[in-house]
Chain A
Amino acid sequence: MSRYLSVYLPTLADPSAGSPETRAQNLERVADWCRRFTPLAASDAPDGVVLDIAGAAHLFGGEAATLALVESKLARHGARAALADTPEAAWALARFGPQSAPARILPAGDAKALARAMDRLPVAALRIAPDAALALSQTGLKQIGDIALRPRAPITARFGAQVFARYDAMMGAVRSAISPRFEAPAYVAERRFADSVTAREHIDATILALAQDLSDMLTRHHEGARKLAAILFRVDGAVRRVDCATSRPQRDPKAIARLFREKLDAVQASDALDAGYGFDLIRLAVMEAEGLQARQDGLGLQASDLADDSGAGFARAKKADALADFLDRMSARFGAHRVLRFVAHDTHIPELASGVQPAVRPAPNAEPVPVEGARPLRLFARPELIEAIADVPDGPPMKFRWRRIMHEVAAIEGPERIAPEWWKQEAASLTRDYFRVEDTHGRRFWLFREGLYGREAQRPRWYVQGFFG
Chain B
Amino acid sequence: MSPSGSSEHVALLREAISRIEAGGGASAGPEDAGASLARRRAAFFEIAPAHAFDNAAATGFALALASRFHEGEGGGVLWIAEDFALAEWGAPYGPGLAPYDLGLRDVVLMRMARTGDVWLAMEEAIRARAFGAIVAEPASLRGLAGEDAPKLIRRLAMAARTAGARAILLRPPASERLPFLAPTPMRFEISARPSPRPSAGRKPLPGAQTWRVRHTGPPGAVPGLKPDALHDFDLLPANREEDFFSVALSLRLPPHARGPLGRVA
Contact = CB atoms under 8 A, between A and B. Distances in A.
A316 B74 contact: yes
A443 B264 contact: no
Interface in B50-72: 53-57, 59-61, 63-64
How many A residues are at the interface, by size bracket? 35 or more
B203 A374 contact: no
B59 A412 contact: no
B180 to A, nearest CB: 21
A437 B206 contact: yes
A208 interface: no
A359 B57 contact: no
Interface string A349-377: 01001111001000100001001111111
Contacts of B75: 299-300, 319, 323
A354 B231 CA distance: 34
Interface string B96-139: 11111000111111111100010001001100111100000000
Interface stretch (A21-29, A333-341, A455-463): A333-341
A469 B95 CA distance: 13
Contacts of B191: 441-442
B263 A326 contact: no
Contacts of B131: 323
A443 B56 contact: yes
Interface stretch (B10-18, B85-93, B213-221, B248-256): B85-93
A270 to B, nearest CB: 12
A377 B262 contact: no
A378 B100 contact: no
Contacts of A325: 128, 130
Contacts of A323: 75-76, 128, 130-131
A354 B105 CA distance: 12
A221 B74 CA distance: 33
A396 to B, nearest CB: 6
Given A411-B203, A411-B204, A354 B112 contact: no
A359 B108 contact: yes
B110 A330 contact: yes
Contacts of B206: 411-413, 436-438, 444, 468
Given A354-B93, A409-B203, A413-B263, A341 B124 contact: no
B107 A377 contact: no
B112 A415 contact: no
B96 A344 contact: no
Q: B60, B94, B264 — which one has the most chain A CB atoms within 10 A of its CB?
A: B94
A440 B125 CA distance: 38
Most chain A CB within 10 A, of B93, B105, B110, B203, is at: B93
A316 B59 CA distance: 28
A414 interface: yes
Interface string B189-211: 00111110100000111110110
Interface string A38-79: 000000000000000000000000000000000000000000
Main secondary structure, interface of B, reads mixed
Contacts of B263: 413
A443 B192 contact: yes
A326 to B, nearest CB: 4
Contacts of B74: 300, 316, 319
Contact of B54 (A330, A354, A443): A443
Contacts of A409: 203
In this complex, the member of A354, A378, A381, A466 whose beta carbon has the largest number of chain B beta carbons within 10 angstroms is A378
B229 interface: no
A442 B194 contact: yes
A334 B125 CA distance: 14
Contacts of A381: 87, 90-91
Interface in A88-146: none
A415 B265 CA distance: 6
A209 interface: no
B198 to A, nearest CB: 10
Nearest to B58: A469
Contacts of A436: 205-206, 262
B194 A410 contact: yes
Given A341-B104, A469-B56, A368 B110 contact: no
B59 A378 contact: yes
Among A323, A327, A381, A395, find the residue whose CB has the most chain B CB atoms closer than 10 A. A323
A440 B204 CA distance: 12
B124 to A, nearest CB: 7
B3 interface: no
B182 to A, nearest CB: 21
Contacts of B195: 410-411, 438, 442
Interface in B27-71: 53-57, 59-61, 63-64
Contacts of A319: 74-75, 129-130
Contact of B205 (A322, A343, A412): A412
B96 A376 contact: yes
Contacts of B112: 334, 338
A14 interface: no
Contact of A466 (B61, B90, B108, B121): B90
A377 B93 contact: yes
B110 A375 contact: no
A463 to B, nearest CB: 12
Contact of B93 (A340, A375, A396, A443): A375
Contacts of B57: 442-443, 469
B95 A354 contact: yes
B128 A322 contact: yes
Nearest to A402: B53
A56 B163 CA distance: 50
A372 B89 CA distance: 25
8 contacts: A334-B110, A350-B95, A378-B89, A396-B264, A396-B265, A440-B194, A466-B93, A468-B206
Minimum-distance CB pairs A-B, first 7: A469-B60, A354-B94, A467-B56, A378-B90, A442-B192, A298-B105, A442-B194
Given A411-B197, A411-B207, A441-B53, 13 more contacts: A322-B130, A338-B111, A355-B94, A374-B261, A376-B93, A377-B63, A378-B93, A381-B91, A412-B205, A438-B194, A438-B206, A442-B191, A468-B206
